[in-house]
Amino acid sequence: MKHRITIETEFIKMDSLLKYAGIIMSGGEAKELITKGAVTVNGEVCTMRGKKIRRGDTVCFADETIEVL
């Protein structure tokens, strides 16, 4: 499933983005998935849950894709 999320700020942290998009339900769940390497940013595995995601970035987890606008 593809999500398009518009942000009004310069960036959003990756764990917050996953919660905001409704892909995960809690910060603890986000931390676990990210640190296990289950999330990619622009096609590369990212294990930093505080990674700054900016407009134009694409975040993927399982069959979910988030395009940040």
**4 close to 69: Cβ distance less than 8 angstroms:** yes
Kindly tell me if the per-residue pLDDT of 45 is higher than 90. Answer: yes
- Res 49 pLDDT > 90: no
Q: Which pTM was predicted? A: 0.91
Q: Is the pLDDT of residue 27 over 90?
A: no
Is 2 a residue whose pLDDT tops 90? Answer: yes
Position 7 scores a pLDDT of: 95
Alpha carbon separation from 24 to 3, 10, 46, 61 (Å, rounded): 13, 22, 17, 10
User: Between 49 and 64, whose confidence is greater?
Assistant: 64
- Tell me how far apart the alpha carbons of residues 28 and 42 are, in angstroms, rounded to a whole number: 23
For residue 18, what pLDDT is reported?
Answer: 93
